[in-house]
Each structure stands twice: as C-alpha cells, then as structure tokens.
Chain A
Amino acid sequence: MRVIYTLWLRQVKRFFRARSRIIGAIGQPLLFLIALGYGIGSIYKTAGGGSYIDFLVPGIMAQTVLFAAMFYGAMIMFDKQFGFLKETLVAPVSRTKIMLGGALGGATTATLQGLLVFLISLCLGFRPQHWALVPLAIIILGLLAVAIASFSSGIGSFVQDMQGFQAINQFLVFPLYFLSGALYPLQHVPDWLRIVAEINPMSYAVDAMRDTLIGQTHFGLLKDLVVLLVAVVVMVTFGAYRFRHIEA
C-alpha cells in the first residue's frame, strides 16, 4: 500500500506543481463547451432537442477525463526519457503495484480536471437535475479515468518515444471521443454510426454521465455501469500486463 500511495502522491503533487497543465487541461473543454454550446445550441433548440449546453456538459466532462487520463501515458514516456522509470523498474516491488500507483494518480488528476469543468459549467448556467446524483457522476468519472489511465500506461509501456505515443494517442482518442455520442444524441444517427457507438465503451461512460446529471439515457444506467466496470477490469489487466514486460 505504501508503494501505491507514494507513487499516487507523486502524480498528484506533480499535477499541482504544473499550473500550465491545469490551464491547458481546462482550456480545450471550455472552448468545446462555448463554441459548440452556443454555436450549435440555437439550431439544436429549433430542432426540438432542448438545451444543447445541458446535453453537452456531461459529454465534455467525460471528454476532459478521457484526454487527461490519456496524458498519463505521456508521463510514462517522460519517465522513460528522463530515466526515472528505471528507478522504479529495479525496485523490489511488483510491477503491478507500480503501474497501479501511477495510474491511480493519473486517474485522480484526470477526475479533478473533469470536476473543474463541472464547476465552470455551473458558472455558465448548467444545473444538474438532481444534486444527490452528483456523487455518482463523480464515481463514474473516476471509473472512466482509471480505465483510460491504465490503458494509456499499457500503451506507454511498449511505445519507444513521445512521437510514437502522440501518433497512437491521436489515432485512438479522437475516434473514441467523436464516435461516443458525447456531442450528439444517438437516437437519430444512421445505423452504422449507432453500431460503432454501441461498440465504443466510451459511449457508456458518456451515457452514464448524462443519465446521472440530466436524466437522459440511451442504454440505461445499469448497462452503462456494467460496461464501465468491465472496461476497468480489462484495462487494468492490460496495463499491468504490458507494464510487467518493459525492458530498459
């Protein structure tokens, strides 16, 4: 436990020391929220969809967590590049614990960023349907963060350099995001897109967020949570497996 806690703390400390990272992490979702929210909002309303900003906020929170948790893999690349990774690899501790400590730290900072977006949305006039469900929404963000941070540690474990990581990151993250229903309702999309979205685990996290915060759901909360939990187990296993096989 001490190892996991110490490595978790390292990620959290480093996050709070890097102010630029916090600003960067908030800037992008804020841009999405304002540009899309106000840009598309009026058409969305005319089409009978209700408030687009309300619809968008849960998706943007999930997006923030997705991007921020994927960044944890980049931290592993930095640790490789600046040598710190070797310090942990020769330590008499199971690699699974090392991977878990870091990934949980990365997941914590990602969840915090998602919450920051939530606070900003409140300033923009967003109100959750039931305040009592907000803690559940935070847990959902946390689960998503753990799954994605573990996934990105798995990727970070076998990619050799930052360029390679960025390429894979872009290649994976954008489809996960744009094909998840974060930006549009899945009810009226063409069949092929709906099928792709149904395969995408990210859709279930977005849907769970939307259900808890604004009471709209496509799959139903139970199904969302089951898929999310399965994703956490699969991703942690994947991340731990890849991390165990790093050779320096």
Chain B
Amino acid sequence: MALKPAISVSHLTKRFGDFTAVDDVSFTVKEGELFALLGPNGAGKSTTIKMLTTLLQPSGGELHLNGHDVTKAQDAARKSFGIVFQDPSVDTEMTAYENMELHAALYNVRGSETKERIQTLLELVELWDRKDTLVKNYSGGMKRRLEIARGLLHHPKVLFLDEPTLGLDTQTRNLLWDYVKRLSREEGMTVFFTTHYLEEAEAVADRIAIIDHGHLIALGTTKQLARQTGTKSLEAAYLELTGKTVRDEAAKPGDEWRARRRARMMK
C-alpha cells in the first residue's frame, strides 16, 4: 500500500545573499515514519526545519506538509505540525499550565477538550504535579518535557524535533525517545528530528538523511548507509560521508552571510 507522504521536499533552496545554506534538496517522509536529518554544524539542518515550519521563506523549490503547500497554505500547514525548537521557547514567567493554555488558544483546541488534553499530556511527561510552578524554576530537562507536551497538544500529524536531547542527561533522553516512539506508534504520528547523537538516530529513526554544505549527500536506513559507504556503523558511515574537519556554526541562519558581508565592507 502506498502511503501519501507526510513531508515532501523538492529542489528546496535557501540563499542568504551569495551564501547558499540549503542547495537543491529533495526527499520525502512517509506517514508514521521516524525520520532523522543529520549533518555537521552549519550544514543546513535548522534552516531546513525553519523552512518546513514556515519560519523562513525558501528561495526556491517546493514544500508540502500533509498535502498542504507550506509557502502558500501556511495556516493549514501550521495546524498540522508540532515543533520542539533547538532553543527553549516556553514563557518562563508563566506556569506550565498557562503555557499549555496559551498554546491551546493559539491552535484553537476546543475549550471542552483543552483541560483534559493538558492533563493527559502533562501526566505523560510527568509534570502534572508541577503544573502551577513558574517555568523559570524548571530544570532544562523539565522545560524540554514541557515543550514536547505542548508540541503535542493540538494532535499534530508531524512532530518536528530540532536537537531535542541537547544538554539532557541519559535518563531524560531515554524517557523522551520512549514517549516519542510510543506516540508515533499509537497515533501514527510522523516524527522528523535532527540530532548530533548518532546512536540516537540509529536507535530511533526508520530512515536517515545526511546533509552537508547545504547538499543532501545520503538517504536511507542505517544498514543502507553502512553498505553504501562500506562501513559497519552509522558513525563510521557518517564520518566517511562528511569528513573529519570541525565546522563552525552560525547562531542563526543567515548570520554567516551577514558576518561575511560585514567583513567585506570593512575591507
């Protein structure tokens, strides 16, 4: 049975001035799939996620999410995904419950359903006891769990996770992937994530894409990637494909270009 793709990306390109952050990238993600996007710092992962989630306008190419054209039918696309950003995005001056309520209003989750859904999700991520605590008093791991609960509140069909386990301890990381896998299984939710921990991608993802210098350089299961590179593990395959040099990462997409432009003007 052929499933319609949850995410389809064709010839996606993003330029900042004369710097091309994402260059002619195409791939599709099947419904219910757990899909990992890997790549060194500054390879174009976050820029790709930002374009998929309507935060950045692509310079070229087409993007579809659950059948909605991301650039043309923005609101329909936005309703259909949830996202956990690389950096925290909760309001730390409000309580966890208030953050959830605000999200419910933004996504127009029905009033009658809201309370129940918030309780279910906060219980799932084990924060229900602390629901009335101001988020600024939460630890990093607690904030991350809250963001995951929030991202799931409006029943998204696709969940984007941009380096969700960065800075978390092993226990929290395992717990987090357990939730995500369970939800994907139970609700048929598609999960698109980036990570620097290759063993995570290997353990969780059905398929893996590797991006470097804005180009998609490999796509397949762990086994396929290992076979393709004649290596034995994902890590070996990854290093074979992306090399061993260390990259610098700009804080925000476009920063690299801005810095170069500034340097040019100084000359």
* A interface residues (Cβ-Cβ under 8 A, vs B): 2-3, 5-7, 10, 13-14, 17-18, 79, 82-94, 247-248
Is chain B's interface secondary structure helix, strand, loop, or mixed overall? Answer: loop
Name the A residues within 8 Å of B92 (CB-CB).
Answer: 82
- Contact between A93 and B106, CB atoms less than 8 A apart: yes
Contacts A89-B55, A91-B103 supplied; 6 other A-B pairs, CB < 8 Å: A3-B108, A17-B93, A82-B91, A84-B91, A86-B55, A87-B91
CA gap between A2 and B105 in the complex, in Å: 6
Name the A residues within 8 Å of B50 (CB-CB).
Answer: 248
Is chain A's interface secondary structure helix, strand, loop, or mixed overall? Answer: helix
Q: What are the 6 closest A-B residue pairs judged by CB atoms, nearest first?
A: A83-B89, A92-B78, A91-B106, A6-B105, A92-B75, A92-B79
Q: Please, could you name 27 A-B residue pairs with CB atoms under 8 Å apart, sorted by A?
A: A2-B105, A5-B105, A7-B102, A10-B94, A10-B102, A82-B89, A82-B92, A83-B85, A83-B88, A83-B89, A83-B90, A84-B90, A84-B91, A89-B55, A90-B53, A90-B54, A90-B55, A91-B78, A91-B103, A92-B75, A92-B78, A92-B79, A93-B75, A94-B75, A247-B55, A248-B56, A248-B252
Name the A residues within 8 Å of B85 (CB-CB).
Answer: 83, 86
Total A-B contacts with CB atoms under 8 angstroms apart: 74
| Given known contacts A90-B55, A90-B78, A92-B75, A2 and B91 CB-to-CB distance under 8 angstroms | no
CA gap between A3 and B78 in the complex, in Å: 15
Name the B residues within 8 Å of A17 (CB-CB).
Answer: 93
Most buried by B among A14, A84, A88: A84
CA gap between A7 and B54 in the complex, in Å: 21
- Contact between B89 and A86, CB atoms less than 8 A apart: yes
Most buried by B among A3, A5, A83: A83
Q: Which of B93, B101, B107 contacts A92 (CB 8 A)?
A: B107
- Contact between B94 and A14, CB atoms less than 8 A apart: yes
Report the nearest A residue to B90, measured CB to CB: A84
Residue B83, interface by CB 8 Å: yes
Residue B57, interface by CB 8 Å: yes
Name the B residues within 8 Å of A248 (CB-CB).
Answer: 50, 55-56, 252
Name the A residues within 8 Å of B90 (CB-CB).
Answer: 83-84, 87
Name the B residues within 8 Å of A13 (CB-CB).
Answer: 94, 98
CA gap between A6 and B98 in the complex, in Å: 10
Report the nearest B residue to A82, measured CB to CB: B92
- Residues of chain B from 148 to 207 with CB closer than 8 A to chain A in the complex: 150
Report the nearest A residue to B106, measured CB to CB: A91
- Residues of chain B from 53 to 105 with CB closer than 8 A to chain A in the complex: 53-57, 74-76, 78-79, 83, 85, 87-94, 98, 101-103, 105
CA gap between A14 and B79 in the complex, in Å: 27
- Contact between A87 and B89, CB atoms less than 8 A apart: yes
Q: Give min CB distance, B105 to chain A, whole Å.
A: 4
CA gap between A110 and B140 in the complex, in Å: 33
Report the nearest A residue to B53, measured CB to CB: A90
Q: Give min CB distance, A84 to chain B, whole Å.
A: 5
CA gap between A93 and B106 in the complex, in Å: 7
Q: Give min CB distance, B14 to chain A, whole Å.
A: 11
Report the nearest A residue to B80, measured CB to CB: A92
- Residues of chain B from 29 to 70 with CB closer than 8 A to chain A in the complex: 50, 53-57
CA gap between A6 and B104 in the complex, in Å: 10
- Residues of chain B from 92 to 130 with CB closer than 8 A to chain A in the complex: 92-94, 98, 101-103, 105-108
Most buried by B among A18, A91, A94: A91
- Residues of chain B from 216 to 251 with CB closer than 8 A to chain A in the complex: none
- Contact between A87 and B103, CB atoms less than 8 A apart: yes
Report the nearest B residue to A5, measured CB to CB: B105
Name the B residues within 8 Å of A87 (CB-CB).
Answer: 89-91, 103, 106, 150
Name the B residues within 8 Å of A93 (CB-CB).
Answer: 75, 106
